[in-house]
Amino acid sequence: MASDLIVLNVMGPYREPKESAFSFDYSVQRPDWATPQGVRIKVSIDSELNHLKTLLDCSGGSVGQQLRVNQILCRAIAEQKLALVDMDGMLSERRDIMVGSFVDELSHLFSSLDQWMKAEQVSLRQLIKDQVGI
C-alpha cells in the first residue's frame, strides 16, 4: 500500500537530554490536511542504534568517523520508523505525535524494524563505506 504522506522537512539528530536516544523532527503532510503536522521520532541508542551497529559489525575508524556512522544509521532508522508507524496507522489523524523507541507500548513494531535492518545490511555497509570510508 502506497502512502500519501509527504515529508516536507527533517531536522536532527538531536540528543535527548534525559534518555539514551537521538531524535529527529519531521514536518509531514497529507494532501487532505490543511497544515503540516510535526512528528518526533526517537532512536534508542541502546536498543536500536547499537543493535544495528552489531548487525553491521560496524567498528573502527576515528571518533569523527564513528560520529558520522552514528548520524547515518540513526537517520536510516528514523526514516524506517516513520514508514512503520505510518503503516501502523499512527499518522492517519491530523495531529502532532512523538514516536519513542520500539520497546514497551511499541514493541510490536520492533520485529519489523529488525527485519528491515537485516534486509538492508549490504546497502547500509556500502553507504558507510562510500560516505565515511570504513
Cis status of the peptide bond prior to 13, with omega within 30 of 0: yes
For residue 61, what pLDDT is reported? 85
Report whether 96 contacts 39 (CB < 8 A): yes
Residue 103 pLDDT > 60, yes or no? yes
Per-domain residue ranges for the chain? 6-131
Residue type, 56: L
The phi-psi region of residue 61 (left if phi > 0; otherwise alpha if psi is between -120 and 50; otherwise beta) is left
For residue 2, what pLDDT is reported? 55
For residue 5, what pLDDT is reported? 92
Backbone angles phi, psi at 111, to 5 degrees: -65, -35
Report whether 65 contacts 133 (CB < 8 A): yes
Residue with cell 522537512: 9
The CA distance from 2 to 22, in Å, is: 28
Per-residue pLDDT of 35-55, as tens digits, reads 999 999 999 999 999 999 999
Per-residue pLDDT of 58-87, as tens digits, reads 778 899 999 999 999 999 999 999 999 999
Backbone angles phi, psi at 92, to 5 degrees: -75, -25
Q: In the predicted model, what is the mean pLDDT of the chain?
A: 92
The CA distance from 46 to 44, in Å, is: 6
Residue 1 pLDDT > 70, yes or no? no
> 2 burial class (0-12, 13-18, 19+ CB within 10 angstroms)?
exposed
Q: Give the global pTM.
A: 0.93
